[in-house]
Structure formats: C-alpha cells, structure tokens
Structure 1
Amino acid sequence: MLQFCLAINYKTNSTMKKFNLVILVLAIIFLSNITFAQKAEQPETTYDLGSKINEMTLTVGGILVVATNDGLVGIDPKVKTPVFTFNNFGKLSPEETDFVPESPYIIVSQGVGSKFAGIAKTKRAVINYITGKVIFNSDNDNWNQIYTCNVVLPQNKLIVSGIQKVGDKFEKMTPKVAVYDLSTQKMDYSFFLDKPGRVGVAKDFSVTGVPLLLKNMVIIPTAQGLLAKSHKGDDLWECKIKGVNWMVADKSEKEIYGFETTTNGKNTRIHKIGSNGAELWKDDRKVQGNVSNFQILPQGLAVVSDKSSGGSSSVFAASDESEIAFLSASSGEDLWDKAPKTKGYVQHFYVQDDGILFGIQQGGINKISFDGKTLFKKPLKTGENIMVMAESPQGLIYITSEDANIVNLETGDQVWKKPLKYKNSAAVASTFDSVNNRYLIAADGTIYSIDANSGDVAELANVKFDEKEVADFMQMRNGNIFLSSSQNLMMLDGQGKEVYHEYFKSPSQSGFVKVLSGVMAVASTGLAMAHAAKAGMNRTNPYGSSNDLSNYNDYGKENKRAADMFASIGDAAFDVMSKRFKATAATENAQFILTKLDDGTGLVKVNKDSGKVDKEIVLKDKKPEYQVDEVAGVLYYKANDKTIYAYNLK
C-alpha cells in the first residue's frame, strides 16, 4: 500500500500530492496500529469501579480486594463483575481493614473504641470475600459499640463484645458478648458480662484480650477477671485474674494458660487456670519481654520472650534479645538451672524428640535438652540472618547471608569439613541436585557445588547479572540449573556452562515490584500462613505444631498442611481455599518481569526453559501498580484511578 501511494504521488499535480500525502500518513498510522495491536495483550476483563482506587490486596483465597474512596470491592477473575461491594462504612484506611490469617474473612472497623457506653459509636463488619457475603454488620444487629471482634478457627465462629441497643434501658447499657456461627451467619448465643441494672459501685467489665473458645465453654478475659460461660450463655465460673491478653489450653482443655502483658509492656505474666476456674499455680510466672513463642510439651512449657531496649542507651535498659525458658507445667518453676544465652533474637525455634533447636538472627545455632543440658558440644557459630534451617539426609543444613554448612543434629559436629563462606550477600539461592547428589548454593555471583556425601566444595560457575543483581532463586529443571532475580534469568547446564542469559532492563531502579516465581510464590504463601498460625489468636496450633523442622526443598509441605486444614473446616469458602492450595501454580514454567518495552513499561512472560518471551503486556506507566496471581495465572493492573484490567497469563 505504501509503494502504491508513492507511485501515484510522483505523477500527480500539487493538489493531488497533498491528498496522497494525507493518504500516506493515514496508511502509516493504520499499519503501525495493526502492529501494536498484534503485539499488545488485551485484558480479559475490565472492572470499572466508579471510585478512586487506593490499594489492591491479593488474598490467600485468590480474590483481589480493592480499597476505594467508597469502601471495598472484591474481584474474582472468573466473574465479569465484582463478587462484592462494601460501601456501608465509606472509605477505609489500611488500619481499618484486617485480613484474618488462614481464612476468607475481612474484619472492617470504623470509629475509635471506648469502654464506656455512649461516648463514641464504633462499627464492625465481617466479610467473606470468596462468597461476597457480609456475614456480620454491627449496624444491622444494633451494636452501638464494639470492644472486640475476633474470628475463631477452626470452630469458624465470631465472638463480639460491646454494647448492644437491645432490651430494656439497663440491658442497653450493659456490656455484652455474642457468639456467631460464620457458616450459617446466625447468632449462637449471647450473654451479659454484668447483671443489667445491678446496684452498687460501677465496675469495669471491658474485654482485655482475645476470648478462648473451648468444646464446653467460652472464657472471656475482662478487667474484672476471667468469666467462663457455657455455649448457651450460662454462668460457669469466675476467676480474679485480671487483664489477660490471650490464652491457650492443652489438648485435654483441662489446663489453661493466660498471658498478661504488664502495664509498661516490658514483662509478661503467665497464669495457669483449671477448667473449673481454680488457679493452679501458687504464683504467676513472670518472663521478661513479650512472649513470641509458647508450646505445651509432655516435659514442660517452652517459652520464648523478646526483650527490647526501645532504642534506649541507658545502662539500665533491657538488651535487644530473646530469652528461652522451660517451665514446669505443675508449678511454673523454671526447670533449667541456667537459661541458654542468645545474644540476639530467636529467628528459628524447633521442637524435636530430644530437645529444642534454635537459631539466632544475629548468628548462632544451639540445641538444648528438655532438662537444660547443651546437646551440641559447643554453640555453633554462624553468619547473621539464618535464611534456611532444615533437615536433609546428611543432617541440619543452614544457610545464612555469609556462610552455609550441614551439622549433625545430635552433636552439632560439622558434616562438611568446614563451612562454606562467602561475602555477605543480599540474597542467597540454593537447591539440591538429586541427579548428581549435590547441594548448589549461589551467593555473591558464585555458584558453589557441595558433594552431599563428602562435603567437598567446588566453584561450579561465576555468574554476573546486570544492574548488579544477585540470584535470589534457584531451581533444577530437566538437569539444568535455573537462576533468576528481578530483571535477570539464566540457565546453566549440569557442568555450569551457560545455556542462556536474558536481561530485561528495569523501568527505573525504584519502579519495579518483585514478582516471585511459580513454586516459590506458592511456598512462601504457605510459610507465611504457618507463621500466622503460630502467632494466631488462640495460639493453640490446632493443626499440628508450627515449630516442626521442615525438610530441605520440600515446598509442598506447608501447602498440604494449609489445604488439609481448610478442607477440615467443612465450609464452602474454605473448600475453595483448599482446592487453591492443592493446585499447581498456573505459571510455574514462566517468570514475570516488569521491564522497559518499545511501547512503554510492561510485563513480560519469560519461559524458564528457553529464556524466550512468550507474552508482552504493555502497562504504559513508569511505575505501574499491579498484582500477579501465580496460582490462577492472572495479572491485575490498575489502568487508571477507577479501573482495573485483568489479564490472562496462561
């Protein structure tokens, strides 16, 4: 067409020349548009939300929750319109939106809570983001104030406390607790924390912590003490222990431990109560700092507490470190004559058959028997930031930002002749090559090969990534070694020879968002959920201890645990989550990289095995806002202030 226009233009007069020049320009534009359309991916679905978008959150259940100036919107890529829109409370800040770990629930809040009735109205709502249903709305149930609002799993219940404007004038002023079933969306039972209309000195019955829901009762911690009620709301017992923040029960539910943070926040008091409300310890047990890990064992109670100086340089200030204590379950007395020195924060904490294994963030690994004896011949010195502590066939493998080794789990003796040492690296990647029976570790631009039997170390290859990046992911693929970072991908053969190296320039050094690749993204989600279980509301670890030492390279263990847990709850939304965690990542053979394309900033889908670009999506913005769902294979892109595009990445 271009040649035809030029031929006519050459033989005609000036008027015709102008006309044909216009034709020529239009033809060029037309052809360039065809080229662009063929290159750019079109969004699968466009969501016009009608209000300014403030934040996007990809949930563990696979729904994108968008915070707008009007409220919250849920997007499911399989549905052309939002699965829910919650505008009842208007614009919500991140602090007012709580994504409950290991669940399909969001708790939204509005208003500042008060323990005194009538001062300031507070609102709470609970949304099931998978079904799109608003399960609880304090306005609909006439709650004028909400003190606490807690989802309890695996029972799938909601416990609310506050002032409900229902009943006579005294009942409308008396603190109350209600328990809702999240599956049926109905209230199971409710009860007052004080007798409505009671005459006498006013008492403060504000709820001070998270209620503990057991098989036969619910225990409410209040400023007046612990109150136990039956599942019908009948009084069972009262205990004068006040100000408890959280509780945990043993498997029999006959022994309950309550944790009370002192007023200054520097210490924690541990109380033990029987299922009849009796105090089982003569005196409470005080530990320094806040309890970060607690586990009930047959031999006693393992407690980790974190002390903080708060930035103070005073000689009287606490050190920034953890304390590990092992207490008698019967008396609360310390069973160890001398607590192990940590000289830093406990980063890893694992309970094994013969004792407790722990790693310190500032460096160091040790193992203590349940009777307080050191099981390692001497504390193991390591580099800072222990990224990996895991079981391997040869022993305990650890990888830090400075060194790596395998040690005997019973004695602490080195399996490798000496630790593998390297320069302090911002990221360290590793994997196990089962075909060649070797560990591969990439740090500071060097790939080390360590024979699994002999521990002999060899430098397999030196790699150089552009933009001074270092590999943060490594994977064996069909006998080859795959390495990646934010902007670089590389494949080496088994001998360390480069198969390909692809580099995609970042749009700006601060403009890209790291997108985790396939399997690792799924694994990291599972690990994050395991951490949430450890720090969860009831701290009972109902699905098995999160203090179990994982197996090296076993990415699927946490995912299976999560999938089984979701399936056991027996609710439709949890069933959806279970299937999601059983699924293989839809994009496991590709990596997504934000880069500078000819037509602007965009996302490229790169095949891990070939290094070739399978798909380009132009996003235009220099600093685009987007989320990638690796499991479902979907890219969510904020196209403008009110619109989100969903792209199919499969």
Structure 2
Amino acid sequence: MKAIIKTLWTAILMLCCVSNGYAQKAEAPENTYDLGAKINEMTLTVGGILVVATNDGLAGIKPNESKPIFTFNNFGQLKPEETDFIPMTPYIVVSQGATGGFSGIGKTKRAVIDYVKGKVLFNSEDLKWTQIYTCNVMLPQNKLVVSGLQKSDAKFESQVPKVAVYDLDSGKNDFSFFLDKPGRVGMAKDFSVTGTPLLLKNAVLVPTAQGIIAMSNSGTELWKSKIKDVTWMVADDSGKEIYAFESVNNGNNTRIHKIGDKDGAALWADDRKVKGIVSNFEILPQGIAVVSNVKPSGEKGLGKLMAAKEQSHIAFLSASSGEDLWEKAPKTNGYVQHFYIMEDGILFGLFEGGINKIAFDGKPLFKKPLKTGENIMVMAHTPQGLLYITGEDANIVNLESGDQIWSKPLKYKRATSVASTFDSKNNRYMIAADGKIMAIDANSGDVNDFAQCNFEEKEDPSSMQIRDGGIFLSSSQNMAMYDFNGSESYKVYHKSPGRSTFGKIMGGVMAVASTTMAVSMSAVAGANRSAFGSMNDLDSYNDYGKDAKRAADMFSGIAGASFDYLSKRFKATAATENSQFILTKLSNGVGLVKVNKDSGVVEKEIILNDKKPEYEVDEMGGYLFYKANDKTIYTYNLKK
C-alpha cells in the first residue's frame, strides 16, 4: 500500500511539474542586449560576466546591468586565439600581430581588460607601443609587465627595447627602463625578451637573447647574467635563490640554472639538463622535485607518431648542487596525471594506470607499484586512506604501504565518467557505474548493490550528491533520487534535442573543482609559478567547500576591487544549488528546464526558439545567457 501511495504521489508531483512548466513558457527575458554586430563566440567567465566576441570586437555583459559593462572595438574583429582569459583572474589579454620575442615585421598590439570593472587597463596603441615582445600578468602582485618598443620624442629611444611595469588595480605605470642604452655606439645586439619576466619584491628579472637582466624598481641595472634564451623563472620563498629554465634542442629538452638574486652568479657548478619540457617544479626542504614530459619522437613514420604516448620523467635534485639525489628514478611508463607532495615523500598517479609513492631519499614507500585502471579521475584523502577512482575500478589503499584496504578493487566497465560521493550518515562510499549504484562500507570495504540507475540515452551518471531526502544522481538529460535504503524516490528524463545542440553549463561546482587545474596550467604557461604556493597538495575527498574557500582566500589575498568581487562570489552559496538545468525539446520548441533536485519537479521552462540554441548558464550567480539572434543576447534570472 505504501508503495502504491508513493507512486501516486510521485505521479501527482510530475503532473504539477508539467503544469507549472507550461505556465512559464511565455517568460520574457530580464534584459536584452543588442550588440550591433554579428556574434561569433560567447565565454562565461569565472566572475559570472559573459564576454561576447563580435565582428566589431568584445563586449561584456553583467546580467543585472541593462547595458554592456564594456565594449572593446579598438582592434576590430578578434580571432579566438587573440583573446586570452587569464585563469582565475578578472583579466583578458587581447593580442594582435606576432606574439612573443622580437618581431621586426608588422605592428603588434596588446590590450588588457578588467571585465569585472568593465575597464581597459592597458592599450598599447594609446601608450604608443609599436612592438610588444611580451605581456604578462603577475600575481599575487597584481602587476602587468610589458616589453617591446615604445615610440618616443627622444632621439634613439624608439628603437631600444624597453620594459614597463603597470599596476593592474589602477592601470598606472609604476616604472620602466631600457634593456640597452639608447644611442649606444657599436654593433647592434638583439635584446628581445625570450620568456616571462620574474617580479621580485625590489626588482624585476628579464630574460633576453643576451642573458638575464635584473633591474631595480627605480630602473637601475643591478646585474646581468649570461644565461640566454630562458623561458621562465621561479624564486624560492626567500626570493634570494632563482631557478631559470632554458629551452634547448628545439624546445624538446630543458636546462635548469640556479642563480643568486644579488648578483646573478651561478649557485650550481653546472646547470642541470632534463629530458622534455618541465611541467611541475616543487621546491622542498629536502630538495627539488621535477616532472618533465617527453614528446613521442615519431622517428619511424607518422603512424608511430600518432600511436605513441607522451612519457613523463620524475627527478629529485639537490637544491645546493643540482645533483640527482635518487640513484634510480621511478619508472613511469606513461604520463604523470596526478602529482602530490606528502609529508614523507612524493605520490603520483599515471594516466595509463598505476599509483606509486617514493620517499624523498628515493626509496619506494609502497611494497610495489599499485596497478589501477586507466584514467585516474580521483585521488583523494579519506579517513581510511587514499581513495582512487578510475574509468575501470576503485579502491582505497594504505598511504604508507600501498596495501589495498578493500579486499579487492571495485571493478566495472570502462566509463567516461564515474559519479561518487560519501554518505557520512551511513559511513559508506557511493559509486555509480555499470548502470547501478554500489555502496561500499567505509570500515569493512564490503560492497553491496544499492540501486539500479540505467539512464536514458546510455548516459553515464556525472554527478552524485547527498541531500536531506537521500542520494541525488544526474547526467546531462537524466535525474534521479533514491532514499537511504535504495528505493527510487523519483526518476526523470528530458530527451536531448540532438547531440549537436548541447550547450556548455559552467556550474559552480565545476568552476570550484577546476580551480587548482586553472592555476596550475597558468603556472605551467609561464606565470609567476610561486604566486599561489604549492598546488600539489592532496585534497580531502568530496570537499568542494574546502576548494571554494581556497579560491576565495586566494582572491582575497590579492589587492584590488575586482579580486574582492571574485572572493565574495566564491564565498557565496551557489544561487541554483537546489536545481539542475537541462536542454530539451518542449511542446513549443527547444528550451531549458529548471528541475528541482529534491522532487524532480520542473520549476521553470524557457523556450529558446532555436533548434540549435547557443547559451551559457551561470549556476553560481543564477543566470541564463541566450544568443537570441546573430546580434542579440537575452538574460534570464533563474533564481526566481
């Protein structure tokens, strides 16, 4: 009888869902933005502002403002590669013309936009820069370092490479200096900038084709080093020891130099050469951990090149001498996908499968390398040990010995995504794969089939949450809720209007979860790698709140109103945390439905009047941005 009543009640809720949905179809947009030019691309930023690329340039849309907060048409239409959104910042760097190094042909233009303030902070044309070699955002100092040629009324100055440092909060120039003496007699030398400058407390280090040049904040030359063609540098915590990375063998290998901040003198008797391109570099009390990636050689034809995989190498060097501290480096036989610094050593996981842990003295800490499935999606701390989840299996292992905690790993068919969470009330891990949810007792490791979860369109579940009423599971088109005993509370499916019409949904959780990746990738690309401290800390499982707080704290540690805005945004609870948005075909056309996670009820329907709609959803702020036609953007408030 209870089951019958429950079924009837669910049916009533679903009927209400349909009725409520139809009542919402005529909803008008909250704001309309006619941009006056063809829209080519839309990008939802981490700040919740939509940046639109048009045939005229860029426009920024803040959904609660009736007009764009900025338009930038100075450079005309921009190609996608000419617009660089600096990860986890309010900045966009716009580039036209040749990029990087010295370019004697054609004019190069750069601009930096603060999309939160809606303000152009730097425009090379306005400031008479005729050539730009490099243009780098420096954090946490919140500065912009530019190098190139700047037009001047003074004789000879327009032909001499120059470096300028700008404050990104105010947009004002802090100081500038020439890399060579204007009007110097003799053979001209190439002083082009070869990589990313390093901003220290009282100086800036500039890597050039003639070597590294250190200048004071007053523009006085402090010293020169003969190390040429450096691509990036990093300082230790004291700022007194500098590591410089030189690209060699056509960029396939790297030389690491160590120099002092006072005079640029070498602190190692010889530089250290490593195979491949350095992707991870961590300065530790015990030494220096280095991960480098070697590209496949492809020496025996294109077929082998296409089939070969990238190979990672791990080395541990003496900070005092640069010598290798490990007699035998650990075998990777694949690409290092996860890399974490622990109290007793280095923990790493390979994309091809496999986890190992090495002490700082080079001794293996695991009894033997742990075999896992391919593509390690999760490596995280739990009270029981290290939880790993791959596309094929899952288990918890002892972080000291590598022994498996569960008697045998949980096996399933290879999946593109595996949803999981921890049910703290019942002390169990919940993992969805192979069309079912499995419950694993946290203490014993016993596995029980919890519920069936075959989703329509053969979708793999991508998200799982513990909610007050039970366990919520979802994918792009499917949602389901199960009570804590495994009984299905509801299951809803909204058919996709076609795979080609999927919009991109930048959810709050997704944005938070990608924080570490975004900052790490920024560092690899050549930003101040020491800006945010170590990004190689193993996170606790299922702790999105911790990640959000870390992002908020990172923003609050940088001076400026825009970073203060980002910090408050990440501290706030996601505006739509109780809803999911699904693109589907409705009776009046393709639209977006807002579905309540606890009931499965459709709370809002918005017809998008397009068979292939282009849209973005800001789940943190609770807004929908919809490209209504070639020139117009609509915004809808999803919180109502």
Contact 2:137 2:527 in 1 (8 A): no
SS in 2 for 1:557: helix
**Match of 1:298?**
285
SS in 2 for 1:458: strand
User: Is residue 600 from structure 1 mapped to residue 589 from structure 2 by the alignment?
Assistant: yes
SS in 2 for 1:169: coil
Residues of 2 paired with 1:113 and 1:535: CA distance? 18
**Match of 1:395?**
385
Cα deviation, 1:435-486, whole Å, max 9, x if unaligned, reads: 1100000012121110001111111122211111121111111151111011
How far did residue 37 of structure 1 move? 7.7
Distance change (3 Å), C-alpha of 1:472 and 1:69:
same
Equivalent residue letter for 1:278 = A
Equivalent residue letter for 1:182 = L
2:136 to 115, 133, 150: 150
Contact 2:169 2:559 in 1 (8 A): no
Contact 2:55 2:78 in 1 (8 A): yes
* Matches for 1:225-624 after TM superposition, within 5 Å: 225-275=211-261, 276-313=263-300, 320-515=310-505, 520-532=509-521, 534-535=523-524, 537-624=526-613
Equivalent residue letter for 1:190 = S
Equivalent residue letter for 1:582 = K
1:198 to 184, 196, 214: 184
**Match of 1:84?**
70
Contact 2:24 2:606 in 1 (8 A): no
**Match of 2:11?**
none
Residues of 2 paired with 1:642 and 1:191: CA distance? 44
Distance change (3 Å), C-alpha of 1:412 and 1:439:
same
Contact 2:298 2:304 in 1 (8 A): no
How far did residue 115 of structure 1 move? 5.8
Moved more, 60-69 or 310-319: 310-319
How far did residue 274 of structure 1 move? 0.7
2:29 to 40, 43, 49: 43
Residues of 1 paired with 2:159 and 2:400: CA distance? 61
Equivalent residue letter for 1:296 = I
Equivalent residue letter for 2:83 = T
Distance change (3 Å), C-alpha of 1:116 and 1:364:
closer
SS in 2 for 1:620: coil
User: Is residue 65 from structure 1 mapped to residue 55 from structure 2 by the alignment?
Assistant: no
How far did residue 117 of structure 1 move? 7.2
SS in 2 for 1:95: helix
How far did residue 515 of structure 1 move? 3.0
Residues of 2 paired with 1:523 and 1:171: CA distance? 47
Distance change (3 Å), C-alpha of 1:94 and 1:459:
same
How far did residue 312 of structure 1 move? 4.6
SS in 2 for 1:523: helix
How far did residue 102 of structure 1 move? 2.0
Residues of 2 paired with 1:252 and 1:220: CA distance? 19
Contact 1:522 1:585 in 2 (8 A): no
2:209 to 198, 223, 242: 223
SS in 2 for 1:304: strand
Equivalent residue letter for 1:585 = A
SS in 1 for 2:552: helix
**Match of 2:619?**
630
Cα deviation, 1:86-109, whole Å, max 9, x if unaligned, reads: 000000111111111221111101
Residues of 2 paired with 1:534 and 1:377: CA distance? 34
How far did residue 538 of structure 1 move? 3.8
How far did residue 570 of structure 1 move? 2.2
User: Is residue 168 from structure 1 mapped to residue 154 from structure 2 by the alignment?
Assistant: yes
Residues of 1 paired with 2:114 and 2:134: CA distance? 19
How far did residue 120 of structure 1 move? 1.2
Equivalent residue letter for 2:465 = Q
Identity of aligned residues (%): 67
Residues of 2 paired with 1:418 and 1:644: CA distance? 53
How far did residue 509 of structure 1 move? 2.5
1:132 to 118, 124, 128: 118
Equivalent residue letter for 2:513 = S
Q: CA RMSD in A?
A: 1.8
Q: Which structure ranks higher in relative contact order (CA pairs < 8 Å, sequence separation ≥ 6)?
A: 2
How many residue pairs match? The answer is 615
How far did residue 213 of structure 1 move? 0.2
TM score, norm. by length of structure 2: 0.93
SS in 1 for 2:146: strand
User: Is residue 103 from structure 1 mapped to residue 89 from structure 2 by the alignment?
Assistant: yes
Which is greater in Rg?
1
How far did residue 163 of structure 1 move? 0.6
Residues of 2 paired with 1:348 and 1:95: CA distance? 28
How far did residue 113 of structure 1 move? 4.6
Distance change (3 Å), C-alpha of 1:464 and 1:37:
closer
Unaligned runs of 5+ in 1: 1-34
SS in 2 for 1:367: strand
